[in-house]
């Protein structure tokens, strides 16, 4: 008699199962979205790091008076580099602004400002 009464109450109803599945589906979608956002941010950090390397390399090339192309290949991607020079109050010192972007994108990922000593061109040490 008690076993018959317990057998009717055992298990979950269809409605309870559907609610549990809906909760799991919402949780899975949230986890997937968070993972996708994380991967996107890591990719953005990687691109900004490489853009900084490109800008640093260009500044060094300018300091040693080495010609470089406007588009650079680094780590399997093409990077557009825009250099603008500005004279300073010191006639021997020149300000250089370097902007780097993926060549497929117009948004600058990194901007670097440096200075070049035009008098010695960065190669000679005063004696």
Which residue range(s) make up the domain with 33? Answer: 2-117
- pLDDT 10s digits, 2-50: 555 556 667 788 888 999 999 999 999 999 999 999 998 998 999 999 9
State how far the alpha carbon of 110 is from the alpha carbons of 24, 25, 68, 100, in Å.
41, 40, 18, 5
User: Tell me, what CATH number does 27's domain have?
Assistant: 3.30.1300.30
91 domain residue, yes or no: yes
Averaged over 65-76, what is the pLDDT? 89
| Overall domain count for the chain | 1
113 domain residue, yes or no: yes
């Amino acid at each position: 008699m008690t076993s018959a009464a317990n057998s009717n109450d055992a298990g979950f109803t269809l409605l309870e199962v559907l609610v549990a599945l809906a909760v799991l589906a919402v949780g899975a979608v949230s986890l997937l979205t968070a993972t996708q956002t994380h991967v996107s941010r890591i990719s953005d950090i990687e691109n900004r790091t490489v853009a900084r390397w490109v800008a640093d390399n260009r500044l060094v090339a300018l300091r040693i008076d080495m010609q470089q192309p406007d588009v650079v290949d680094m780590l399997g991607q093409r990077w557009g580099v825009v250099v603008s020079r500005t004279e300073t109050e010191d006639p021997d010192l020149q300000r250089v602004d370097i902007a780097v972007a993926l060549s497929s994108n117009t948004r600058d990922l990194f901007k670097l400002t440096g200075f070049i000593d035009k008098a010695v061109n960065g190669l000679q040490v005063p004696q």
